[in-house]
């Protein structure tokens, strides 16, 4: 379980990116975080694995207060939390298998990574993860010879091989075409349903968020303005997240939804 209590995040320049966030995410949930650019989605996600430090409040993962963790404890926390980025974050000049191997054993000595010394068990685990995202036939292919969608699946395999309890995904399909994006979202759904991993995903594409996530969190200017089931995301809710209340804006709902789903 991930629990935010009265969490604030202020950047060194004084910008308050998260304001009094109260949030509980239970193991196995598939949560989409939506909101305008600059609303605080990435900040929220990155506080969960300590890529960012919170400024005040409490943030626990499985009951452990993460803001006070130090070096080795942070690495332990991150073993349980996989992170997927829009830009894949892969080493493109080496094979799929090597990318997965290098990524999934964070505490492996650097010399082993450089020399590529991996045990048979590690290779088996990596190949199983590559199989789980349907690209086993590409295991020995260099990453720069793969399509964007295939590269995102490599990133997913690398995370899966680490057997995390939580996957944080920051705009994982933003740079993919609609068909490929759907395939990658299907992977996330399968992983969530079959392996019970919690998925917390920032996503600009509202229709996709509603189609895949059970729960939607709407952020606006660092505050949660909606937290509920996907099916309860009405046009009025989208106005609140993206444009303010319909009364304030007087804009047509169709316009807001169009803007949010493009």
How far apart are the C-alpha atoms of 183 and 134, rounded to whole Å?
10
Beta bridge partners of 181: none
- Using rule CB under 6 A, residue 239 touches ligand ATP: no
Does 103 engage in binding with ligand ATP (CB under 6 A)?
A: no
* 169-184 burial code (b ≥16 CB/10 A, e <16): bbbbbeebeeebbbbb
What tokens appear for 91 in the block?
Answer: 């080493």
Work out how close the CB of 162 gets to ligand ATP at its nearest, in angstroms, rounded to a whole number: 24
**C-alpha span between 229 and 233 (Å, rounded):** 7
Closer to ligand ATP at the Cβ: 48 or 101? Answer: 48
- DSSP H or E stretch at residue 83: strand 81-85
Residue 185 main-chain phi, psi, to 5 deg: -65, -35
Q: How far is the CB of 45 from ligand ATP (least distance, A)?
A: 8
The length of the chain is: 262
Cβ closest to ligand ATP, residue 35 vs residue 149 = 35
Contacts (Cβ under 8 Å, ≥6 apart) of 230: 32, 209, 210, 211, 213, 214, 215, 216
39 in contact with ligand ATP (CB under 6 A): yes
Cα 18 from Cα 5, distance rounded (Å): 12
Q: With binding defined as CB under 6 A, does residue 11 bind ligand ATP?
A: yes
Nearest approach, Cβ of residue 222 and ligand ATP (Å): 7
**Near ligand ATP by CB under 6 A: residue from 4, 21, 42, 256:** 42
Residue 96 Cβ vs ligand ATP, minimum distance, rounded to whole Å: 28
| Closer residue to ligand ATP in complex, CB, 11/73 | 11
Phi then psi for residue 68, to 5 deg, are -100, 0
Contact assessment for residue 80 and residue 27, using Cβ atoms and an 8 Å cutoff: no
- 13 contributes a contact to ligand ATP by CB under 6 A: yes
- Binding range to ligand ATP, per CB under 6 A, among 21-29, 31-39, 96-104, 241-249: 31-39
What is the token pair recorded at 27? 């193991």
**49 binds ligand ATP per the rule CB under 6 A:** no
Where does this chain touch ligand ATP (CB under 6 A) — which range of 37-45, 67-75, 158-166, 234-242? Answer: 37-45
Q: Is 38 in the site for ligand ATP (CB under 6 A)?
A: yes
Q: Choose one: 11-19, 21-29, 61-69, 189-197; the region binding ligand ATP (CB under 6 A).
A: 11-19
- Cβ–Cβ contacts within 10 Å for residue 253, how many? 15
Would you say 105 and 77 are in contact if contact means Cβ atoms under 8 Å apart? no
Q: Does 220 bind ligand ATP (CB under 6 A)?
A: no
Residues lying near ligand ATP in the complex (CB under 6 A) are found at 11, 13, 15, 17, 35, 37-43
């Amino acid at each position: 379980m991930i629990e935010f209590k009265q969490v604030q995040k202020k950047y060194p320049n004084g910008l308050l990116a998260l304001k009094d966030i109260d949030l509980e995410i239970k193991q196995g949930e598939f949560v989409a975080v939506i909101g305008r650019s600059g609303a605080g989605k990435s900040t929220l996600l990155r506080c969960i694995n300590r890529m960012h430090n919170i400024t005040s409040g409490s943030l626990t993962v499985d009951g452990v207060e993460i803001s006070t963790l130090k070096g080795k404890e942070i690495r332990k926390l991150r073993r349980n939390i996989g992170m997927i980025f829009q830009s894949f974050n892969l080493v493109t000049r080496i094979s799929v298998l090597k990318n997965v191997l290098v990524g999934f054993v964070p505490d492996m000595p650097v010399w082993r990574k450089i020399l590529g010394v991996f045990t048979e068990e590690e290779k088996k685990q990596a190949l199983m993860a590559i199989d789980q995202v349907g690209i086993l036939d590409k295991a020995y292919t260099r990453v720069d010879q793969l399509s964007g969608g295939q590269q995102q699946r490599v990133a997913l395999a690398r995370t899966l091989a680490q057997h995390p309890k939580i996957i944080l995904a920051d705009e994982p399909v933003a740079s993919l075409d609609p068909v490929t994006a759907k395939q990658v979202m299907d992977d996330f759904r399968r992983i969530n349903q079959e392996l019970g991993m919690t998925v917390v995903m920032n996503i600009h594409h509202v229709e996709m968020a509603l189609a895949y996530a059970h729960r939607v969190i709407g952020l606006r200017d660092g505050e949660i303005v909606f937290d509920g089931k996907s099916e309860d995301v009405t046009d009025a809710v989208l106005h609140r997240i993206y444009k303010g209340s319909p009364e304030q804006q007087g804009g047509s709902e169709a316009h807001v939804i169009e803007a949010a789903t493009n």
